[in-house]
Amino acid sequence: MIDILMPRLSDTMEEGAIATWHKQPGDQVAIGDILVEIETDKATMEYEAYEAGILREILVPEGEQATIGMVIALLDDGKPASPSAAPVPDAEAPVADAGVPVPEPEVPTEASARVLATPLVRRLAREHAIDLAHIEGSGPGGRIVRADLDRLSVPQAAASVAQPTAPEPRGSDDARQSTAVPFDRTRQVISRRLTESAASVPHFTVASVAVVDDLLALRAELNARLDAAGRARISVNDLVVRACAIALTAFPGVNASYSPEGSGATLQHGRVNIGIAVASDAGLVVPVISDADRKPASQIAADSRRLAERAKERGLTADDMAGGTFTISNLGMFGVEQFTAIINPPEGAILAVGAAMEEPVVIDGAVEVRRRMRYTLSADHRIIDGALAAKFLAMLTDLLEHPLDIIA
């Protein structure tokens, strides 16, 4: 019998939710078959079978969560169990897998030790003081699953977030009442990670502005050529990505992360992998353009389109979102002039980019209209000082105002 374990599908994944089982107990499984779809903190990903056999039991049903290394199903490969093999653990206990860190198991309380329950159920029970010993489980082996809590009369037990108190309706025909929209898996992780970042990372921000008339003119000329060749058009953000890549190469202290090793250290990255924040139906995702410093703007444009399409279709892979060293969040397409962003851990900085707006500018004593674009760098003050951030922005501004240097 083979244990099917919850895999690590992204660098920040701690647990995953079963979205869809493509095989059911009794089904034949061949190597390479899509066994299950798993919703991680970043996307929904397909998990292939690496062994052949018959699926005997599903231990974590659809909609339930499991930590990395937990047994989620059993696959019968027809081989007799080794006499020395350890017994199949309870699905609640994480199982060590080579190269996969497994969280320390919870020390069960006297009440919880007598029942079987999924990790999500145990967390909800702790949050809402629910005694699991008095609940009959409907999952495999009598395990208590989320649906069992949903059947309770206590409203809080059916939600993973606290429900706000709705204001009293003014009349029975007033449909304008508050509606609670429970967080999905992606929104839960976004909430947790950004809360941790804002609370634990000492953010500071510096802002600058560039006159981008020449940049926009160059982009128009490049796109005319690309249109004629049938290639992907270049966006303003693609040029910003390229300019940031050049500036990060010049200032590797910004292309860095904080390391808690020893008394603390700055981990400077040898590669320039720039994440681009993308708003999708599933929430905010950050696919990564790898080695952006070694790619021309046209290749960055092609990579950006490919990643954006995958994000839209919820088809991003773990590799698409791994290894980021710096992130760019651009809201200029929505008309936003300026904003600040929260650092995407474990990176050390993020750039928030606004729209290019027409503004009056004094040039040689005369007032002229120019397009100016504002951007704000949020940085981790443990590893990046104000002077370094200012120098990085100064070079970025110079590149955006002299765009030939971006594509040279």
Q: Which two tokens stand for residue 122?
A: 């145990």
Dihedral-angle region of residue 92 (phi above 0 means left; psi in -120 to 50 means alpha; beta otherwise): alpha
Residue keyed to tokens 């704000």: 376
Q: Is 381 a catalytic residue?
A: yes
CA distances 297 to 145, 243, 401, 404, Å, are 50, 9, 16, 11
Q: Which two tokens stand for residue 372?
A: 């100016």
For the beta sheet containing 349-363, the strands, ordered from the edge strand earlier in sequence to the opposite edge, are 203-211, 366-380, 349-363, 326-330, 274-276, 288-289
Q: Report how far Cα 64 is from the mean position of its chain's Cα atoms.
A: 19
CA distances 275 to 128, 259, 314, 325, 382, Å, are 38, 20, 17, 7, 21
Strand partners, 377: 206, 351
Strand partners, 100: 97
Strand partners, 82: none
Q: Which two tokens stand for residue 151?
A: 């059947």
Q: Which two tokens stand for residue 399?
A: 């590149």
DSSP 116: -
Residue in 89, 97, 92 with CA at minimum distance from that of residue 125: 92
Under DSSP, is residue 366 helix (H, G, I), strand (E, B) or coil?
strand
Residue in 388, 377, 354, 381 with CA at minimum distance from that of residue 244: 377
Q: Which two tokens stand for residue 340?
A: 């600040």
* Relative orientation angle of helices 236-250 and 213-229, to the nearest 10 degrees: 110
Task: Please name the helix (run of DSSP H) or strand (run of DSSP E) that holds residue 148, with its range, or none.
Answer: helix 146-150
Alpha helices in 211-263 (DSSP H): 213-229, 236-250
* Candidate list 128, 203, 269, 381, residue with the active-site label: 381
Q: Would you please indicate which residues are annotated as catalytic (active-site) residues?
A: 381
